[in-house]
Amino acid sequence: MAPRDLRPSVEFINVPGWDASPLYHHSATATAAGRLVFTSGVVGAKDGQIVKELGPQVKQAFENLASTLAASGARLVDVLHLRFYVVNWRWTETETLVKEWMDLVGHKPPTALVPVPKLFEDGVFLEMEAVAAIGGCQKTWSKPGPSDLGLQAPPTKIDVIVVGGGFSGVQAAYDLHKSGLGVIILEATHRIGGRSKTIKLASGPGYTELGATWINKTTQPKIYAHTLRLGLTLIEQYNPPNALGVFQKRDGVVARAKVSDPAYSGPEFSKEETESVNKFLEAFQWELSENPDIDINNSSSYPTGEDLTVEEWAKTRQLGQMGEQAAAALCRANVGREAYEVGIHYWVDYVKSVGGLLSLISDDEAGAQNLFIKEGTSAIAQGLAAELKPGSVLVNSAVDEINQHGDQVLLTTVSGSRFLAKKVIMANPTNTYTKIKFTPPLPHAKRALVTQTQPGFYAKACITYAKPWWRELGLLGKFRSYHGPICFSWELSVFDLEAYTLALFIAGKAAEDWYKLTPIAREQAVFDHLRQFLEPEQRHLVDNVLEFNVGTWCEEEWMGGAPTSAMPPGLLSRYGEELRAPWKNIHFAGGETAREWKGYLEGALRAGSRAADEVISIMGSKGKL
């Protein structure tokens, strides 16, 4: 007899207007029609071989069911009906079966247990059939009657809910899970990683980064440790000595200069321009290292009355035109907002939190742009999430309401799923708090922060070429402009994969104007500007494009901007310490709450661990619901 194919079968049935969410914790996004997934023939086999012992065989069968459903877009929590075919099981063994399922999923759908004398092969103790639902939240409204009011399913109970599946959220969940607490991540979008967004290139092997990209092994130990532990490949940023970058002044004039020289000194710059930029560097360095009132660990010490906009600060320091433009350009590049919008204390705090100006702008061994990851930064978030208990991460699960009364917190998602927890960690951007109804309302200080901080206007365009033509021209791929739309750029090439990419950043007012264009006009604006950095006979090289990818962070509904949110004058000293302060049973993470490396993946990870430590110190590994 020919051996049986051990792969389970799957069948889809479309069900127009059907919705299972009120009864079965279904949390998919709304579609015009639902689908039922029927799967059968699921057994405890691995690598084509049946697992021999009963307990491991059951566990493997559940893992195989999860994989089968995942391939069809469903999850274990979407299962509506289970049927078990079992061979010679004792009742104690069936109780173990139910317990295994409950530990894995947290709720039990209607279940049928069918004892049989034998399955298709000796040693097979269990075979499963499952019906699951995906999609289909759209339905016709009807007025509820008195008998309908009691149909709402009880909430899923868990120790801690983490709102947001970015780096801060997955780190917090990872730490909580390791401590022994039960945790669920509710992620509003269809993916995890937050402002990290790695996509596979369509034109060949390799990946490109539409979000956060670079790390440093010395100054960013947390993310570096994860990179090593997960076995990811690090590539050092190309930065030969005396390499040239291309700089465009405010009037559109283009010059070449050593990128290692922040003052842009050289024959293309007048003595007055160089002196003006040096004045800015000296004045800003005093704020970073000598101003006694600037303490990144205690923002309430900042003198509120001295907090001007960056633009006002530059004028009071009499930096000159080029120095003022340099200050505005760096502020724009750092936080995605213009110098007339950002308080000098916030900007100094931000730059000091990453180790200073040279750390921020350089890519040498001490620089923030020293290394990038061949597999992409999203591989770190995915690696951390994969180490959680299966079913712990729910995507397409935007939180609609958070109610906290007594010692518990009830969360409701936009699709109606409900969760009851003892603690909640907010790991989503602060500007998205406004999408959630808090009961009781957020306290005054947190409302002030949420409503007055401003997410950065930011976009990142990645252009992939068949060859690195900029290197052939003796350039580094570093193009900087005070003119826009391109503000600055770096090269992101992986030579062993022949993937040659320029990452071009659009920020501040230039980004605000760029977003008003149509998608095709946006591409054209980027290409037209990139040509301006080259000599006329070289400009044709810009057009030999394999693919154009762009991260439009201001259009991401659950982000609203990047790389962080900036504060106007006076806000940091008045309310900065409230940014991360717990409120009742809610704790606050996210990269904005980091003391060090604000706006970077390292800062997000540190903030996630800090919030998790707060919860663990209160709950320990006990107090489970």
Residues 88 and 122 both lie in one domain: yes
Please give the helix or strand (H or E) that residue 244 lies within, else none.
Answer: strand 244-248
User: Does residue 167 fall inside a structural domain?
Assistant: yes
Residues 115 and 47 both lie in one domain: yes
The reported pLDDT for the residue numbered 622 is: 54
- Domain count of the fold of the chain: 4
Binding site feature residues for FAD:
168, 187-188, 399, 592
Residues 24 and 114 both lie in one domain: yes
Residue 117, classed as helix, strand or coil, is coil
d(CA 363, CA 418): 46
User: Does residue 564 fall inside a structural domain?
Assistant: no
User: Does residue 565 fall inside a structural domain?
Assistant: no
User: CATH code at 528?
Assistant: 3.90.660.10
Structural domain ending residue among the three candidates 500, 534, 551: 551
Residues 33 and 95 both lie in one domain: yes
Binding site feature residues for substrate:
505
User: CATH code at 328?
Assistant: 1.10.405.10
User: Does residue 282 fall inside a structural domain?
Assistant: yes
Where b means 16+ CB within 10 Å and e means fewer, 77-106 reads bbbbbbebbbbebeeeeeeebeeebeebbb
Residues 348 and 404 both lie in one domain: no
User: Does residue 262 fall inside a structural domain?
Assistant: no
Binding site feature residues:
168, 187-188, 399, 505, 592
What string of DSSP letters covers 451-519?
A: HH-EE--EEEEEEEESS-HHHHTTEEEEEEESSSS--EEEE--BGGGTBEEEEEEEEHHHHHHHTTS-H
Structural domain ending residue among the three candidates 138, 171, 186: 138
User: Does residue 471 fall inside a structural domain?
Assistant: yes
Query: 462: burial class by Cβ within 10 Å (0-12, 13-18, 19+)?
Result: buried
Point out the residues of the chain with pLDDT beneath 70: 1-35, 91-92, 96, 106-107, 135-152, 258-267, 621-625
CA angle 565, 567, 570 (to 5 degrees): 165
pLDDT in tens, 497-512: 999 999 999 999 999 9
Residues 14 and 132 both lie in one domain: yes
Q: How far is CA 602 from the centre of its chain?
A: 12
Give bridge partners of residue 291 from the DSSP assignment.
Answer: none
pTM for the complete prediction?
Answer: 0.80
User: Does residue 164 fall inside a structural domain?
Assistant: yes
Residue recorded with tokens 């979008």: 189
The structure tokens listed for 614 are 């707060």
The residue type of 48 is: G
User: CATH code at 422?
Assistant: 3.50.50.60
The reported pLDDT for the residue numbered 334 is: 94
Residues 166 and 220 both lie in one domain: no
Structural domain ending residue among the three candidates 361, 385, 409: 361
Q: Which residues are CB-contacts of 184 (< 8 A; sequence separation ≥ 6)?
A: 156, 158, 160, 161, 162, 173, 392, 393, 394, 419, 421
pLDDT in tens, 268-305: 778 898 899 999 999 999 999 999 999 999 999 999 98
Residues 528 and 478 both lie in one domain: yes
d(CA 404, CA 557): 25
Roughly how many angstroms between the first and final C-alpha of the chain, as a whole number? Answer: 52
User: Does residue 144 fall inside a structural domain?
Assistant: no
Please give the helix or strand (H or E) that residue 565 lies within, else none.
Answer: strand 565-566
Percent of the chain with pLDDT over 90: 66
Residues 227 and 273 both lie in one domain: no
Residues 224 and 208 both lie in one domain: yes
Residues 465 and 537 both lie in one domain: yes
Residues 492 and 464 both lie in one domain: yes
Domain span at residue 297 reads: 269-361
